[in-house]
Amino acid sequence: MSTVTATAAPETAPEPGTGAGRRLVSLDAFRGFTMFWLMGGKAFILAIAGLGLGIVPDVLRYQLTHTPWEGLRYYDLIWPSFMLMVGVSIAFSLRRERNMARVWRRAAVLFLLGSLRESISAGTPYLIELSSALQPIAIAYVAASYLSARSVRLQIAVAAALLAGYALLLALVPAPGIPPGTYERNHNLVTAVDLALIGRAHPEGWGTALSTIPTISTTILGLLFGELLLAGKTPRYNAKVIGLTGAGCLAAGLALSPFVPVVMKLWTASYGLMSAGWASLLFLGFYCAIDMLGYRKWAFPLVIIGVNALAAYLGPTLVPINRVTNPFTRPAAAHIGAFGPVLSAGAVVLSYWLILLWMYRRKIFLRA
């Protein structure tokens, strides 16, 4: 993914079994679909839901917000989906060139971009971000890259050990004034470690230091999928393995949930398994529709976002485009009632997308 614009093609995955010029379009589309919600798509869809469509608005509002604490909604799958996609991309990029010095440089840039985004959002300098994905992605990227040349058995063993070790840590290790196995908001081992190491904890309960550990498991799962897609098997076989793996992770998470609550903000083991399972099944849907059945044209708007995901992620923070669009949409929005929010939110999404389209046509890709 250079932190400056580059004219080279983005490092996304070539389609297995074809020349290097072809790409796994489903990965770009899945990345674009996931990023769409963060670049204004959530506000746009919720504005449409506000027009009144029976039960649909309530379902959308529920699924497009994070679970306050325990539970799982679609919006809780965005971060794990990115962790999974990073792993898939690692398999392809390191297959072409295994350069660990470059891996460390890219990870450092991603980490610092996370600091920049957090600092701008919070209005004060922060080296460590607390509720976003770039810094965990940087750490998982390095870890999975070292595993990319290892055996599948070792990769599975490390992913399982990280998740199980983290689960045992939360279940068995106490903190000052906090018994082991406590998963209450802002009263748990994860929060205690953040206060001790970082000097602060997120008011909504997002963990940082400890909860980064299990995210690596989801990235390793993506690495396994990437290596599967490179192995020369048939698309039907690939789809079967991804589907069974996703369903297995989901079932394991559900089985564990009565004992370990599903809490995204702590990335508990049950959440890690269930979210990885759902992310795998979402990826499977894109893979089957686009790379198996060949339905690609519909995905072009998503691909435009997906190949420049870093720009799409940082854009709303660095360039709040609503300050540009609002003066033009506000007068009309004031006269069209419930359609006003749709117009305002739609103008923001369209503006970001047109910028990404302009970058795509000029082969400008923001990379780390």
Q: Output the pLDDT for position 5.
A: 33
What pLDDT, on the 0 to 100 scale, is given for residue 21? 37
Lowest-confidence segment of 6-20, 49-63, 169-183, 270-284 by average pLDDT: 6-20
For residue 75 the two structure tokens come to 């919006």
* Torsional sign, CA 42, 47, 53, 58: positive
Please report the pLDDT score of residue 12 as a whole number. Answer: 41
User: Tokens for 358?
Assistant: 């302009």
344/134 Cα distance (integer angstroms): 28
CB atoms within 10 A of CB 122: 12
Q: How confident is the model at residue 124 (pLDDT cuts 50, 70, 90)?
A: confident
Q: Which of 98-107, 248-257, 356-365 has the lowest mean pLDDT?
A: 98-107
Other Cβ atoms closer than 10 A to 70 = 17
pLDDT tens digits, 14-35: 333 333 334 689 999 999 999 9
Strand 5-6 to strand 187-188: parallel, antiparallel, or no bridges (unpaired)? unpaired
SS (HEC) of the chain: CCCCEECCCCCCCCCCCCCCCCCCHHHHHHHHHHHHHHHCHHHHHHHHHCCCCCCHHHHHHHHCCCCCCECCCHHHHHHHHHHHHHHHHHHHHHHHCCCHHHHHHHHHHHHHHHHHHHHHHHCCCCCCCCCCCHHHHHHHHHHHHHHCCCCHHHHHHHHHHHHHHHHHHHHHCCECCECCCCEECCEEHHHHHHHHHCCCCCCCCCCCCHHHCCHHHHHHHHHHHHHHHHCCCCHHHHHHHHHHHHHHHHHHHHHHCCCCCCEHHHCCHHHHHHHHHHHHHHHHHHHHHHHHCCCCHHHHHHHHHHCCHHHHHHHHHHCCCHHHHHHHHHHHHCCCCCHHHHHHHHHHHHHHHHHHHHHHHCCCEECC
Rounded to 5 degrees, φ, ψ at 318 are: -80, -35
pLDDT band at residue 96 under the 50/70/90 scheme? low
User: What pLDDT is stored for residue 97 in this prediction?
Assistant: 63
pLDDT (average), residues 294-303: 95
Under a CB-based contact definition with an 8 Å cutoff, are residues 10 and 308 in contact? yes
pLDDT higher at 252 or 337? 252
What pLDDT is stored for residue 20 in this prediction?
36
pLDDT tier at 3 (50, 70, 90 boundaries)?
A: very low
Per-residue confidence band for 129, with pLDDT thresholds at 50, 70 and 90: confident
Look up the pTM and report it.
Answer: 0.91
Mean pLDDT of the residues in the chain: 90
pLDDT at 95: 72
273 vs 98: which has the higher pLDDT: 273
Judged by average pLDDT, the poorest of 18-32, 45-59, 128-142, 311-325 is: 18-32
Average pLDDT over residues 49-73: 88
User: At a CB cut-off of 8 Å and minimum separation 6, what does 338 contact?
Assistant: 50, 51, 52
CB 209 within 8 A of CB 197: yes
Instruction: Give the pLDDT band of residue 13 (cuts 50, 70, 90).
Output: very low
Average confidence (pLDDT) over 258-273: 97
Confidence band for 329, pLDDT divided at 50, 70 and 90: very high
Q: Is the pLDDT of residue 296 over 50?
A: yes
Q: Is the pLDDT of residue 93 over 80?
A: yes
- Residues near 343 by beta carbon (within 8 Å), at least 6 away in sequence: 329, 332, 333, 336
Specify whether the CB–CB gap between 280 and 84 falls below 8 A: yes
Q: How far apart are CA 289 and CA 360, in angstroms?
A: 23
Can you tell me the mean pLDDT for 287-295? 94
Q: Using an 8 Å Cβ cutoff, are 38 and 309 in contact?
A: no
* Nearest one of 216, 78, 247, 245 to 148, comparing CA atoms: 216
Across 221-247, average pLDDT: 96
Question: What is the spatial distance between Cα 262 and Cα 256, in angstroms, rounded to a whole number?
Answer: 9
